[in-house]
């Protein structure tokens, strides 16, 4: 199994590349996160945004799996599926859902809103999709799983969760208006029953035994990982390579490539530390050129230069075997671009490591400048044909991370992709 995952704060372009690489694989499987993800695909002049559905869905010969590590919202699922059906797809044929995936209930979304509100100025900037409360229930061993939705006593199980959640919401001072949301939920559960709930760990293991190839599709990014991200400003799952093992039930010795995807610069949406963030015109220009607005919430993304200490950290945590550099075209608009090579600490010393508490430690990024490379011709066929300044940029990142860059993306469309 190969893994493709984000090395930054999410939105690196995972959806585009999973869709691009999908024809090489038999199975594409999501292993964590849920509808907080927004994965954008562009092909044949159309744009598609996927939230919970793996980005291989447009390739009808490929099996797509929503793994056990995912938190799954039936309501959002129904909307997503209906959009795909409108485009002529028949997802009941090639989409499978792990019975062990946790279910997001309407009250999880309310708890998310209530918990965020009570954090005040320390709010995480959650997508408010109920991700954290759903994972809280999973860890508390109180969650409902997709398999439960197919059981006769499902409504009893739901009622027990509802009672508990309503008590919590009352304590948080959150006014609950459930009628509409609950109706939508039950309608979505009925809709979901047309799909195949599976033991995905067996399906994937058998496929691997038969010599089939599987690509695990990450959501969010390494710096949003619950253990290794900028805690507490993180999401509630392991977005890193180990998350693919636990989120799909695949043993570590079956992992082959780890494809680490990063933007040629950095973005972040929501609160939390971002060492290379630019609060000036350059940051605004990055946002404009890169159309940096969230695919799930529409929020403007914070922008800054590429952060090598953070990238090296992500390479280390994930055991990245290949790097994929995205949105290279966005930097075409700059005569000069910069890369942060290390940080200066308050005592004047320099470090290449991320400090324990990125939130509290004042670090000053130290930059190296690179000359720009102008626009990238659409018909570029080889790395060697890229502008020498871009080749220098690539070689520098490779030398600094110790990992080769095997793919360059220079536009949102499937075709705007160059492989080495
Ligand atoms: P994901 O969450 O990692 O799948 O990424 P998103 O879809 O949230 O955000 C990436 C955005 O960049 C989307 O709007 C993509 O269409 C767009 N995109 C992807 N690759 C490129 C690229 O190489 N150049 C440009 N300009 N846009 C890109
Ligand atoms: P994709 O898969 C970017 C951010 C939120 C917030 C924090 C916690 O499209 O890359 P959550 O809703 O998980 O409780 O939010 O994580 N976040 C993302 N940022 N891309 C994503 O997914 C994200 N999913 C969550 O903005 O700061
Ligand atoms: Mg996204």
Q: What is the pLDDT of residues 337-384, one digit of tens each?
A: 999 999 999 999 999 999 998 888 899 999 999 999 999 999 999 999
Distance 286 CA to ligand 1 centre (A): 13
Q: Residue 406 above 80 pLDDT? A: yes
Q: Is the confidence at residue 298, as pLDDT, over 90?
A: no
Cα 11 to averaged position of ligand 2 atoms, centre (Å): 9
Q: What is the mean pLDDT of residues 184-213?
A: 96
- pLDDT attached to residue 358: 86
pLDDT number for residue 167? 98
Encoded tokens for 152: 């006769």
HEC secondary structure over the chain = CEEEEECCCCCCCHHHHHHHHHHHCCEEEECCCCCCCCEEEEECCEEEEECCCCCCCCCCCCEEEECCCCEECHHHHHHHHHHHHHCCCCHHHHEEEECCCEECCHHHHHHHHHHHHHHHHHCCCCCCCCHHHHHHHHHCCCCCEHHHHCCCCHHHHHHHHHHHHHHHHHHCCCCCCCHHHHHHHHHHHHHHCCCEEECHHHHHHHHHHCCCCEEEECCCCHHHCCCCCCCCCCCCCCCCHHHHHHHHCCCHHHCCCEEEEEECCEEECCCCCCCCECCCHHHHHHHHHCCCECCCCCCECEEECEEHHHHHHHHHHHCCCEEEEECHHHHHHCCEEEEEEEEECCCCCEECCCCCCCCCCCCEEEEEEEECCCCCCCCCCCHHHCCHHHHHHHHHHHHHHCCCEEEEECCCECCCEEEC
Given a cut of 80, whether residue 295 has pLDDT beyond it is no
Write out the two tokens for 311: 């990238």
**Shortest-distance ligand to the CA of residue 119:** 2
Instruction: For ligand 1, say whether the CB of 294 is within 6 Å of any of its atoms.
Output: no
Instruction: State whether the Cα torsion 320-324-327-328 is positive or negative.
Output: positive
Say if ligand 1 is within 6 A of residue 12 CB.
yes
Whether 412 is in the pocket of ligand 1, judged by its Cβ within 6 Å, is yes
Work out the percent of the chain whose per-residue pLDDT is above 70: 100
What pLDDT score was predicted for residue 395? Answer: 98
Please state, rounded to an integer, the average pLDDT across all residues of the chain: 96
Substitution candidate for ligand 2 out of 270, 300, 326, 359 with most atoms within 8 A of CB: 270
The residue-averaged pLDDT of 293-314 equals 93
The predicted pLDDT at position 359 comes to 84
Nearest ligand to the CA of 19 is 1
Residue-wise pLDDT tens digits, 239-274: 999 999 999 999 999 999 999 999 999 999 999 999
Closest among 85, 207, 93, 199 to 146, alpha carbons compared: 199
**94 CA to middle of ligand 1, Å?**
25
Our CA angle for 72, 13, 388, nearest 5°, is 165
- Give the closest ligand to the alpha carbon of residue 49: 1
Question: Would you say 213 and 27 are in contact if contact means Cβ atoms under 8 Å apart?
Answer: yes
For residue 65, is pLDDT > 80? yes
Percent of the chain with pLDDT over 90: 97
Contact 6, 220 (CB under 8 A): yes
pLDDT of residue 124: 95
The pLDDT assigned to 373 comes to: 97
- pTM above the 0.75 mark? yes
* Residue 136 pLDDT: 98
Q: How much distance in Å is there from the Cα of 170 to the middle of ligand 2?
A: 27
* Ligand 1 atom nearest 291 alpha carbon: 14
Take atom 16 of ligand 1 and give the residue whose Cα is closest: 412
Ligand 2 nearest-atom number relative to CA 128: 12
User: Which residue has a Cα nearest atom 11 of ligand 1?
Assistant: 13
Cis check for the bond before 232: say yes or no (omega within 30 of 0).
yes
Structure confidence by residue, pLDDT tens digits, 66-81 = 999 999 999 999 999 9
The two tokens of residue 194 are: 């047309």
In this structure, which residue's CA is closest to atom 26 in ligand 1?
A: 411
pLDDT tens-digit readout, 80-105: 999 999 999 999 999 999 999 999 99
Q: How far is the CA of 98 from the centre of ligand 2 (A)?
A: 22
**Phi, psi at 28, each rounded to 5°:** -115, 130
pLDDT for 296 equals 79
Please state the rounded mean pLDDT for residues 103-113: 98
Mean pLDDT of 197-217: 97
Other residues' Cβ atoms within 10 Å of the Cβ of residue 116: 16
User: Could you give the C-alpha distances from 301 to 218, 270, 298, in angstroms and in order?
Assistant: 20, 8, 9
* pLDDT for residue 294: 84
- Residue 196's pLDDT is what? 81
CA atoms within 13 A on the CB side of 321: 9
CB of residue 292 inside a 6 A radius of ligand 1: no
Q: Supply the pLDDT for residue 146.
A: 98
Q: Are strands 306-307 and 302-304 parallel, antiparallel or unpaired?
A: unpaired
Q: 348: which 2 tokens?
A: 């004047």
Q: Answer yes or no: is the C-beta of 326 below 6 A from any ligand 1 atom.
A: yes
Here the tokens at position 137 are 């229930």
* Atom of ligand 2 minimally distant from the CA of 224: 16
Confidence class for position 308, pLDDT limits 50, 70, 90 = very high
Say yes or no: CB of residue 410 within 6 Å of ligand 1: yes
Residues marked active site are found at 11, 39
């Amino acid at each position: 199994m190969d893994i493709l995952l984000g090395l930054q704060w999410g939105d690196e372009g995972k959806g585009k590349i999973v869709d691009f690489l999908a024809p090489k694989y038999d199975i594409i499987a999501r292993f964590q996160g849920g509808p907080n993800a927004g994965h954008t695909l562009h092909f044949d002049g159309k744009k598609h945004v996927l939230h919970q559905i793996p980005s291989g869905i447009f390739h009808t010969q490929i099996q797509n799996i929503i793994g056990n590590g995912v938190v799954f919202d039936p309501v959002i699922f129904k909307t997503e599926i209906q959009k795909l059906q409108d485009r002529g797809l028949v997802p009941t044929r090639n989409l499978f859902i792990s019975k062990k995936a946790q279910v997001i209930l309407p009250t999880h979304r309310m708890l998310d809103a209530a918990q965020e509100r009570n954090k005040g100025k320390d709010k995480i900037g959650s997508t408010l999709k109920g991700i954290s409360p759903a994972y809280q229930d999973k860890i508390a061993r109180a969650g409902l799983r997709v398999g439960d939705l197919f059981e006769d006593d499902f409504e009893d199980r739901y009622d027990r969760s509802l009672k508990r959640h309503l008590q919590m919401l009352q304590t948080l001072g959150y006014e609950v208006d459930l009628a509409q949301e609950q109706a939508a939920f039950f309608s979505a559960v009925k809709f979901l029953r047309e799909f195949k709930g599976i033991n995905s760990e067996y399906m994937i293991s058998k496929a691997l035994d038969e010599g089939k190839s599987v690509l695990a599709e990450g959501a969010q990014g390494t710096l949003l990982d619950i253990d290794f991200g900028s805690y507490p400003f993180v999401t509630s799952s392991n977005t890193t390579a180990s998350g693919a093992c636990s989120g799909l039930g695949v043993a570590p010795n079956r992992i082959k490539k780890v494809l680490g995807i990063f933007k040629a610069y950095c973005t972040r949406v929501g609160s939390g530390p971002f060492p290379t963030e630019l609060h000036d015109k350059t940051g605004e220009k990055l946002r404009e050129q890169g159309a940096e607005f969230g695919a799930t919430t529409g929020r403007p993304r914070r922008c800054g230069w590429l952060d090598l200490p953070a990238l090296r950290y992500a390479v280390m945590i994930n055991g990245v075997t290949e790097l994929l550099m995205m949105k290279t075209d966005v930097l075409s608009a700059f005569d000069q671009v910069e890369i942060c090579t290390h940080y200066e600490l308050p005592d004047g010393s320099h470090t290449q490591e991320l400090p324990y508490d990125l939130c509290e430690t004042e670090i000053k990024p130290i930059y190296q400048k690179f000359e720009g490379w102008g626009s990238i011709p659409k018909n570029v066929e080889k790395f060697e044909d890229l502008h020498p300044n871009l080749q220098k940029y690539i070689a520098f990142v490779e030398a600094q991370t110790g990992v080769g860059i095997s793919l360059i993306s220079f536009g949102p469309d499937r075709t705007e992709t160059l492989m080495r």
